[in-house]
Amino acid sequence: MKTGAGGPVQWIDPARTPWLEILDLRAHADPDSAAEAARAAMQTDMQTPIDPVRDALARQCLFVLGEARFVWYQRAHHLANDGYGMALWGTRVAELYASRVQPPGDAPLPGRAPLGPLQAVVDEDAAYQQGERRVRDGAFWREAFTPMPEVVGLASGRAFSAHRCHRRVAPLPTPLLGPLMALAADSGQPWPDVLTALTALYCLRMAGTAQTVIGVPFMGRMGSASARATATVMNVLPLRVAATPDTSLPAFVRDLALAQVRARRHGRYRSEQLRRDLGLLGGQRRLHAALVNVQPFYKPLSLTGVRATLEILGTGPIDDLTIGFRGDGVHSLDLEIEANPTLYSAEAIDAHMARLQAFLEAATRAATLGDIAPASPAEAQRHLFTLNASDHPVPDTTLTALIEATMARAPDAVALEFEGAALTYAELDTRTRALAQQLRQRGVGADTLVAVALPRSLELLVALVAVLRAGGAYLPLDLAHPAERLARVVALSQPVCALVREEDAARLPAALPCLAPSQWADTSGAAPDAAPLPAPLPQHAAYVIYTSGSTGEPKGVLVAHRAIVNRLEWMRSHYGFAPGERILQKTPATFDVSVWEFFLPLITGCTLVIAPPEAHRDPARLAAIIRQQRIGTCHFVPSMLAAFLSEPSARGLQMQRIFCSGEELPASLRDRLHATLDSELHNLYGPTEAAVDVSYWPADAADHTQPVPIGFPVWNTRLYVLDDRMRPLPPGVAGDLYLGGVQLARGYLGRDDLTAERFLPDPHRPGERIYKTGDLARWRAEDGAVVFLGRSDHQVKLRGLRIELGEIEAALTASPQVARAEVLLRDDRGGDKRLVAYVQPRNDLAAPVDVDALRRHLAGRLPDYMLPHAIVELHDWPVTANGKLDRGALPAPALDVAAGRAAQGDTEEALARLFAEVLGLSGTTLPGADADFFDLGGDSLSAVELLLQIRTRWQRNPGLGTLFAAPTVSALAVAIEADEVRFDSGLAPVIQLAAGDPARAPLFVIHPAGGIAWGYRHLARALAQPAEGQAQGPSRSVFGLQSPALAPDHPLPESIDALAQQYVARVLAVQPRGPVHLLGWSVGGIIAQAMAVELERAGHAVGVVALLDAYPADVWRAEPEPTPLQALRALLAIAGLDPEGHPELATRDAVVDFLRRGDTALGHLPAEALEGVVRVVTDTNRLIRQHHHRRQAGTLTHVRAGKDHADKPQLQASAWAPYAASLDTLSLPMLHAHMTGAEATALLAPTLAARLAATPGDGPARESHPPTTAPLSTEKTP
């Protein structure tokens, strides 16, 4: 290969002809050891990288093992030959060999045509590239894959191409070949196409999705000059695969075979070009998932007089998974699987080998696609029964009996503590017995309900236990909910009475009898009533908790004593709870986690420490309670645990156990906990419908699983992952999670229809029930643990709270403005999940929906956590092919695409189309002339893609710097049409990241260690356009200061102070008057403080000086200098990645290569620019350690990364106190590497904008001159 005028060129170099090398290994002890040496040599050769410009692309070796044993090794790069070409080559060599060894006098062998010339192939391809057929082919593919369907592989996650792979080969059983050929004959399709269709179906089923795309190699040689040429002609065609279980198997096979025929008619259009057309270049965007490669042209190698076998050592780099079939289908057919080891374990590939053969065998007997069982019999037995062997004896008793046994066993032990007050078990016995007698007099008994609407207090626990002792079931109510919701719950549940404070009774329906604590029986000095209380039975209700309902009606989950007793007895035994331990109760009573918090202590003889009302929302207060009250056990929803770990006073806490449930536990949060405090961590899972929790996973410090599983079943419970026909799924395949066993709720109170819908007969254990959770899950192959994958129905969790979207929809349609409503939990901002409501106004309304009025309507009916973030008005609703609402097609909250006038002229119109293509903007309206690329959703990576498209179209590259400064269609068109288009890589010393009101003092952001300021893009947009972003207040411009040493001929100054002086000069050139606002992340914060000192010294006003997780040079001086590799790994943080998440990047080349291949703008820098970044990282670290801070006369605003630095307690905001007159401290629940990302910006921008606007002199009294080239916790410390 060489580089020509039009790009890479392939040419024939006689010097690189792969002449046969003969390697004599007969010196080894025997032919077998020689064969091992030959194999090792071949593997070494295969793993040796090839430079196509320098090295030969093919090699031929003959290893001599013994007198009559040889190994013929052929290796060809895919640039030189493909699989069919290799088969041609082998066959031709065999023909020539036969003619050479033919005995004299024998009849001549039939003449065979020689191999075709390469030049004919090249000429034919060149003609195609310029012809009309290519235009038609391209149009076919673009239409077929617009919009691009989701590409789902057989393994979760993504990986880069692997040069090594797991490879397995096995012949298909001979008894299977006949039925496969018969199926092909019956369908009237070629057997390779039928086999491809069945394997595609297997891939679809194992991916657990409704559709995917596989890759199918296309030989492309029939009727071509390449028919007998050894060259790379093969193309990979994307094949869309979609199916429903009731589709007939013959129809599916026929349709997919015909789809292959249609694809081959346009098969010369290169898949590489199609990726460009569809915007799939860069990073890990892919056109297809698994590759299915049927190669019927391979036949046993026939060398006259020689017994030969063919072994394929490898087929090249593996992106994901390649499933191959090699052979003629008559004599033999081998199944080959090659898998990327980053995605698949060797055990997983062994399982696929066995399962695919069973799948093919079942397919030959199936009438419909759904008839093919997804799991093998052995897998079904393991997952249904072996992993669910959880039987364990538990007393058939009640929660009431267990609590009363503790009261009798340890009367003098402390049962409850609350804000300095306490009750012993004897006192609890007395008070609850008295209240229970009162409740009995009001008609409370078995399976009757008592509403409890009390804040956390001693009275709350007295009330709950008293209800149980009266034989009834308690119904918790949250008085913070809207009155309409409370009234509806009371109407549905019909409690006998309510236990509520007098001052709160008015919040409940007037018809509901209330009993206030002041009216409870006075037990002081009076002998307790010894009359026996009725004993409930294990099947009687213990409590009812109402959850969000899909129809708008809340649904009451009724849990019996037997169920909760199993749960509590398992927990007591499994975790070894003992009398005297101290357990914190902080979960609101309306959430089921509170059940074990309330009662586990009371059945074990522990002390229950009750947190004050609202304390569960305050991490600092919780940390103080845990420390002062010597708490040993407590529970956190993961999102609250993250906030708790960000609280400085939580560091170093020692506890026995922390339990997490309510939402998915991220692996990073598990690791943060163990780095922050000393405690066991346990991940629990379970819905309210199954007595709180049904599975467990020890997330201890030695656990490194990703994702963290929900684990294994507790006593007497079962976890099933089933398909839509209630059959078990194989490990790794997503399916519906069902629960079985003793802990299932009795059902939904008063809703037999809903109970019958969700509580079903167990098809695998006759006479028992299972509950359909609505969650998606999969089994892990290695240990059978269950992994939670998300929700499958209309229910979601947001910040740990379960939300039925239907309840929000019902509230919306109750408005007189709304005829139809749908609600989604969207994730359009990279992890920032938000509720979005879609509404259609009533036909009789002439005006648009009044969004403000609609929000007020919702606020009166829904808790605040259920209020939509955005409301989108729709008149036309997207539907699927079968007429159902296509939720995936509902639009994101609208952007102002057609901003300003329409695009005019060729350049603007073409740019508008490119904006739409690169950003995936739907609809027929193109972006207007004033549409801003970044406002429309662009980021640094999509900016790189846009510039690539611009360069392809106009052969000009204005560069990232120009795009940052001129991001609108019209401004960028002017830059492209300019007489001189200077490439600007975005590395100038000063760049404008966003343009705002020029009358406002701009914000100058200083680069971190790598010298580049692009990472502040999100923050810049939010401040420049506050009406559309997260900030509030006036618009202002944002400029980025970048290191001059990014250029190879500009070394860094000799000190941070000298660097600060240069930067101040650049700032004053842009803004000569008014207060100067500075912000710096990491190293940029150190430079910002030095700049503020220099500005004050020169007599200039200094405004806000914000330091994003930056710490003074003092704290780094004692640290050892980073190694060159550590400095390089800092590039990962600059790219927005967590350096600790990629321990495999252990060399300079590995780091740089990872960035180049990944979805980061940093990786797309020119080579010399990336070298500049590496140089700046290294040199800046040296300057930081030499720097000594001077005191600044003003205020420093420090923003801490609250999720980080558990292993570096010296990194505290207070370290800046000696260097500023005052210190204003904030905290974001983020990692250091994410402090400039979209999520951090959403939290920081409003606060920062307010501080900027409040600066004296910030108002509209000056102009700046552009260069020519989560809730925050705050504290102010003097």
pLDDT of residue 1133: 65
Mean pLDDT of 22-46: 93
Lowest mean pLDDT among 156-160, 168-172, 245-249, 1022-1026: 156-160
Do residues 463 and 416 touch, judged by C-beta distance below 8 A? no
Q: 264's torsion region: left (phi>0), alpha (psi -120 to 50) or beta?
A: alpha
Peptide bond before residue 147 is cis, with ω within 30 degrees of 0:
yes
Highest mean pLDDT out of 52-56, 735-739, 1176-1180: 735-739
CATH superfamily, domain at 399-617: ANL, N-terminal domain (3.40.50.12780)
Mean pLDDT of 320-334: 89
* Pairing relationship of beta strands 582-585 and 1003-1006 according to DSSP bridges: unpaired
CA–CA separation, 1182 and 1121 (whole Å): 8
Q: What is the CATH number of domain 796-877?
A: 3.30.300.30
Q: What is the CATH number of domain 2-80?
A: 3.30.559.10
Tell me: pLDDT of 1264 over 70. no
pLDDT of residue 981: 44
Mean pLDDT of 312-316: 85
Do residues 627 and 677 touch, judged by C-beta distance below 8 A? no
Peptide bond before residue 863 is cis, with ω within 30 degrees of 0:
no
Residue 799 banded pLDDT, cuts 50, 70, 90: low
pLDDT of residue 967: 82
* φ and ψ of 672, to 5 deg: -65, -40
Tell me: pLDDT of 137 over 90. yes
CA–CA separation, 300 and 328 (whole Å): 9
Residue 504 banded pLDDT, cuts 50, 70, 90: very high
Nearest to 821 by CA among 861, 869, 867, 874: 874
Tokens read off for 246: 């009731």
pLDDT of residue 807: 75
pLDDT of residue 136: 95
End-to-end Cα distance, the chain: 68
User: What single-letter amino acid sits at 540?
Assistant: H
Please tell me whether residue 1066 adopts helix, strand or coil conformation.
helix
- Three-state secondary structure string covering 1021-1048: HHHHCCCCCCCCCCCCCEEEECCHHHCC
Tell me: pLDDT of 1205 over 80. no
Residue 1182 banded pLDDT, cuts 50, 70, 90: confident
Tell me: pLDDT of 862 over 80. no
CA–CA separation, 209 and 243 (whole Å): 10
How much is the mean pLDDT over the chain? 86
Tell me: pLDDT of 825 over 70. yes
Do residues 219 and 70 touch, judged by C-beta distance below 8 A? no
Provide the percentage of residues in the chain whose pLDDT is more than 90. Answer: 49
User: What single-letter amino acid sits at 112?
Assistant: R
Of residues 585 and 317, more confidently modeled: 585
CA–CA separation, 463 and 439 (whole Å): 10
* Start-end of CATH 3.30.300.30 domains in the chain: 796-877
Please tell me whether residue 894 adopts helix, strand or coil conformation.
coil
* Start-end of CATH 3.40.50.12780 domains in the chain: 399-617
CA–CA separation, 747 and 696 (whole Å): 23
Residue-wise pLDDT for 954-982, tens only, equals 877 676 667 776 788 888 888 887 744 44
Domain 990-1277 has CATH 3.90.1150.10: no
* φ and ψ of 222, to 5 deg: -65, 130
**Strand ranges, E, within 267-401:** 291-295, 321-326, 334-339
Of residues 530 and 402, more confidently modeled: 402
Residue-wise pLDDT for 267-304, tens only, equals 999 998 998 888 776 545 689 999 999 998 877 778 88
Active-site residue, 266 included: no
Residue-wise pLDDT for 213-247, tens only, equals 999 999 888 888 888 999 999 999 999 999 989 99
Lowest mean pLDDT among 434-448, 596-610, 885-899: 885-899
Lowest mean pLDDT among 327-331, 550-554, 1076-1080: 550-554
Domain 898-984 has CATH 3.30.2310.20: no
* Pairing relationship of beta strands 70-76 and 58-64 according to DSSP bridges: antiparallel
Provide the percentage of residues in the chain whose pLDDT is more than 70. Answer: 87
Mean pLDDT of 738-757: 96
Do residues 466 and 435 touch, judged by C-beta distance below 8 A? yes
Catalytic residue among 352, 481, 1018, 1232: 1232
Residue-wise pLDDT for 645-665, tens only, equals 878 889 999 999 999 998 888
Mean pLDDT of 1065-1081: 93
* Start-end of CATH 3.40.50.1820 domains in the chain: 990-1277
Q: What is the CATH number of domain 139-372?
A: 3.30.559.30
CA–CA separation, 1243 and 1200 (whole Å): 12
Please tell me whether residue 168 adopts helix, strand or coil conformation.
strand
Lowest mean pLDDT among 28-37, 130-139, 195-204, 896-905: 896-905
Of residues 1091 and 616, more confidently modeled: 1091
Tell me: pLDDT of 795 over 80. no
Of residues 169 and 924, more confidently modeled: 169
Residue 1122 banded pLDDT, cuts 50, 70, 90: low
Tell me: pLDDT of 159 over 80. no
CA–CA separation, 870 and 1197 (whole Å): 32
Residue 831 banded pLDDT, cuts 50, 70, 90: very low
Residue 1084 banded pLDDT, cuts 50, 70, 90: very high
Do residues 1092 and 1120 touch, judged by C-beta distance below 8 A? no
- Three-state secondary structure string covering 797-856: EECCEEEEHHHHHHHHHCCCCEEEEEEEEECCCCCCCEEEEEEEECCCCCCCCCHHHHHH
pLDDT of residue 924: 59
Residue-wise pLDDT for 88-106, tens only, equals 888 899 889 988 888 887 7
Q: What is the CATH number of domain 717-793?
A: 2.30.38.10
* Start-end of CATH 1.10.1200.10 domains in the chain: 898-984
Residue 215: strand pairing partners? 238, 291
Residue-wise pLDDT for 1019-1033, tens only, equals 888 888 775 444 456
CA–CA separation, 868 and 853 (whole Å): 13
Tell me: pLDDT of 1073 over 70. yes
